Amino acid sequence: MNKEINILGGGISGLTCAIILLKNGYNVNIYEKRKATGTRFNSDWQGIENWSEETDVLSELRSFGIDLSFDYVPVCELNLHYSDKIRTLRGDKACYLVKRGTAIDCLDTCLLEQAKELGVNIYCGTKPDNNKQIHVIATGPEKGNILAKGIKFNTKRPDSYHMAFGDDIAKGFYSYLLIKNGEATIATVFDNRNVRDSENYLQNTIGYFSEYFDPEEVEAGNKFGGYGYFEIRKTLYNDDGAMLIGEAGGLQDYLWGFGMRYAFQSANFAARSIMTGESYDKLIKENLHKKLKHSKRNRKLFEILGPLAYPLAYRLFKKSKDPLKLLNVVYR
Ligand SMILES: Cc1cc2nc3c(=O)[nH]c(=O)nc-3n(C[C@H](O)[C@H](O)[C@H](O)COP(=O)(O)OP(=O)(O)OC[C@H]3O[C@@H](n4cnc5c(N)ncnc54)[C@H](O)[C@@H]3O)c2cc1C
């Protein structure tokens, strides 16, 4: 058996796959096109969703052999906004906030450190030789059907978590404000067809949430942006037989763009396929397609309903005694 594995892309899916393989005796080379891993992000807060499956996502990560050495914050309370209405939704660990980027406490850095300790060879800013066989492609989104634009800033205001619906702040998707320990992330997420309005969405989002921070705090922050890619592909092997994992394979939540859990899970299935010879396509189809298809169906529904989708979604969550269960039903 070929014990040397080459992975293109040193993001969270590439590193997770590498850690699993290294722990099982493989030699792993990662080729990362940027100067360092994690530079796609700016220490902004992101949420690893914990509602689409019965298993807690952190237990799942542990079962893959990942050490939880990064900072994570369980979110049990979220303020859902629509127009001038607010409803506080409660649920046990609905998601975990993690920081993304190159700082010491970021998820990306901690995965990188684990992989390094296990002996990964990581080549940053270098392309693999043409004659190298690439086994796993973990290069993130190549194009985007969903865009995000935001600001990372420091604040003296208390911790709170907010999500808001509205065509003027985030057409088709949502805006969010996450404040934890004086570190805040504000962002708008929208369909790529509305890219020309992105700055308006961001400014309107800042205005919408303005009671939760001081204007000079957000003005002193750092802007960030990015895109996400979702697609249900017929096969997740490329023409050369390499497996596409994470967003490189379009494995991303259609409804709201929560791609991290897919990145971890697909990385685990790719590693398993290498170790056992099982078909990666089959593993993804059997384990992730149902969830992906439901998120696609819900996105379609959101689009068909148009402006009616927001009040409807808001009412459904407002009325629900157990919003986490509701999310669970929506996704499964
Ligand atoms: C602003 C923003 C907010 C988000 N918020 C959330 C959230 O709250 N919750 C959530 O679950 N998801 C969120 N996501 C999505 C989530 O970040 C991604 O789904 C996840 O990072 C995908 O992991 P990945 O390993 O596939 O790709 P990435 O993490 O993007 O890693 C890909 C790596 O490959 C490298 N690379 C690219 N091309 C090449 C190449 N040709 N050769 C070598 N290396 C290459 C890149 O430099 C990068 O390091 C957000 C995304 C954005 C942009």
> How do residues 40-61 score in pLDDT, each as one tens digit?
898 999 999 998 888 999 999 9
Assigned token pair, 215: 């204007």
Q: Could you tell me the distance, in angstroms and rounded to a whole number, from the CA of residue 142 to the centre of ligand 1?
A: 10
Expressed in angstroms and rounded, the spacing between residue 247 Cα and the centre of ligand 1 is: 7
The verdict on 286 and 222 lying in the same domain is no
Query: Which atom number of ligand 1 is nearest to the Cα of residue 150?
Result: 1
pTM given for the model: 0.95
Domain assignment present for residue 306? The answer is: no
Identify the pLDDT of residue 327: 76
Q: Let me know whether 117 and 163 are in one domain.
A: no
Instruction: Calculate how far, in angstroms, residue 249's C-alpha sits from the geometric centre of ligand 1.
Output: 12
| Residue 66 and residue 13 share a domain | yes
Same domain, 152 and 200: yes
Q: How far is the CA of 138 from the centre of ligand 1 (A)?
A: 9
> For residue 119, is it within any domain?
yes
Is 234 a member of any domain? yes
- Closest ligand 1 atom, residue 246 Cα: 26
Q: Out of 29-33, 72-76, 245-249, 326-330, pick the least confident.
A: 326-330
Q: Burial letters for 287-303: b for 16+ Cβ neighbours within 10 Å, e otherwise?
A: ebeebbebbbebbeebe
Q: Give buried/exposed letters for 213-245 (b at 16+ CB in 10 A, else e).
A: beeebbeebeebebbbbbebeeebbeeeebbbb
User: What is the rounded average pLDDT for all residues in the chain?
Assistant: 93
Measuring from atom 18 of ligand 1, which residue has the nearest CA? 259
Domain-embedded: residue 272 = yes
Q: Choose which residue among 13, 15, 41, 46 to substitute to test ligand 1 binding: the one with the highest number of ligand atoms within 8 A of its C-beta.
A: 46
Distance 245 CA to ligand 1 centre (A): 11
* pLDDT at site 330: 73
Domain end position, chosen among 228, 258, 279? 228
Average pLDDT of the segment spanning 198-211:
97
Please give the average per-residue pLDDT across 210-233, as a whole number. Answer: 95
289 domain-assigned: yes
pLDDT value for 117: 97
Please tell me whether residues 154 and 12 are part of one structural domain: no
Give yes or no for residue 269 having a pLDDT over 80. Answer: yes
- CATH at residue 290: 3.50.50.60
318 falls within a domain? no
166 and 23 both lie in a single domain: no
| Structural domain boundaries enclosing 151 | 144-228
Residue 74: CB atoms within 10 Å: 13
> From atom 48 of ligand 1, which residue's Cα is the shortest distance away?
11
Give the binding-site residues of ligand 1, using a 6 Å CB cut-off: 8-14, 31-34, 37, 40, 46-49, 138-140, 148, 226, 228, 246-248, 252, 257-260, 263
- 47 in Cβ contact with 96 (< 8 Å): yes
15 CA → ligand 1 middle, Å: 12
Q: Which atom of ligand 1 is nearest to the CA of 13?
A: 25
Q: Which atom of ligand 1 is nearest to the CA of 15?
A: 25
- Identify whether residues 41 and 161 lie together within a single domain: no
287/254 same-domain check? yes
pLDDT value at position 2?
55
Ligand 1 pocket test: pick from 6, 7, 12, 254 the residue with the most ligand atoms within 8 Å of its Cβ.
Answer: 12
Banded model confidence at residue 219, pLDDT cuts 50, 70, 90: very high
Residue range 90-116: average pLDDT? 94
Q: Which of 189, 260, 265, 331 to mutate to test the pocket of ligand 1 (most atoms within 8 A of CB)?
A: 260
CA gap 316, 174 in Å, rounded: 16
In this structure, are 126 and 237 located in the same domain?
A: yes
Verify that 108 and 255 share a domain, yes or no: yes
At 12, which amino acid appears? I
Kindly give the distance from the C-alpha atom of residue 259 to the centroid of ligand 1, in angstroms, as a whole number: 8
> Are 246 and 186 part of one and the same domain?
no
- Dihedrals φ, ψ of 146, to 5°? -140, 135
Q: Is 207 left (phi over 0), alpha (psi -120 to 50) or beta?
A: alpha
Q: What are phi and psi of 79, to 5 degrees?
A: -90, 115
By C-alpha distance, which of 28, 26, 93, 33 is closest to 58? 93
At 195, which CATH number?
Answer: 3.30.9.10
180: in domain: yes
Residue where a domain stops, chosen among 206, 228, 250: 228
Among 210, 228, 246, residue at a domain's last position:
228
> Is residue 265 located within the same domain as residue 121?
yes
Query: In this structure, is residue 196 part of a structural domain?
Result: yes
Contacts of 43 (CB under 8 A, 6+ apart): 99, 100, 101, 102, 103, 106, 152, 183
* pLDDT at 318 (0 to 100): 80
Number of independent structural domains in the chain: 2
